[in-house]
């Protein structure tokens, strides 16, 4: 598994979009010191989310999906992005599923 890092601007834009439309309200500052770690999905872009105060190596389980959106990648293939929280309600995963299982080319500038 890759090492943790700060999210890119594109990743953060997608995260902010999903947090804004989530079924639960996240505390302000949810993105401060947020780290991410790419999941091994062969380039589709899914991320493990490691909020401040959560140990990087702590085993966590999926709690529930709280938000999702769909967009077209640059090649026209539909992508479904989901925001998952763990059992404690902490940010857990950004699941990005390019529906033909090919690598994600990019996150669009405008999300709807």
Partner 1 sequence: MGPGKWLPIASGKIESDYTFESIYVGGAVLKPAFLAARAAISRLFGVTAAKTGSNLTIQFGKGANQVSHAFRHTDALGLNRAVVKSAVETHFRGVSSQIVAGKPFNQIIEVVGQRIQYTAFKLKDGTINIGRIHGVK
Q: Which of residues 7-36 bind partner 1 (CB under 8 A)?
A: none
Q: From the list 3, 9, 28, 40, which residue makes contact with partner 1 (rule: CB under 8 A)?
A: 40
State how far the Cα of 69 lies from the Cα of 87, in Å rounded to an integer.
22
User: Judged by CB, which is closer to partner 1: 9, or 76?
Assistant: 76
Q: From the list 12, 19, 22, 39, which residue makes contact with partner 1 (rule: CB under 8 A)?
A: 39
Determine the straight-line distance between the first and last CA of the chain, rounded to whole angstroms: 31
- How many Cα neighbours within 13 Å face the side chain of 32? 5
Give residue for tokens 């105060």. 53
Query: Binding residues for partner 1, per CB under 8 A?
Result: 39-42, 44, 46, 61-62, 64-65, 70, 78, 80, 82, 84, 95, 97, 99-102
């Amino acid at each position: 598994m890759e090492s943790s890092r700060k999210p890119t601007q594109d990743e953060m834009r997608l995260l902010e979009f999903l947090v804004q439309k989530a079924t639960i309200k996240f505390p302000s500052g949810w993105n401060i010191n947020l780290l991410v770690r790419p999941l091994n999905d062969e380039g589709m872009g899914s991320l493990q989310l490691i909020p401040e105060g959560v140990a990087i190596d702590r085993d966590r389980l999926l709690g529930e999906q709280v938000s999702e959106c769909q967009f077209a990648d640059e090649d026209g293939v539909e992508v479904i992005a989901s925001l998952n929280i763990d059992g404690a309600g902490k940010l857990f995963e950004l699941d990005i599923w390019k529906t033909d299982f090919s690598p994600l080319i990019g996150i669009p500038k405008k999300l709807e």
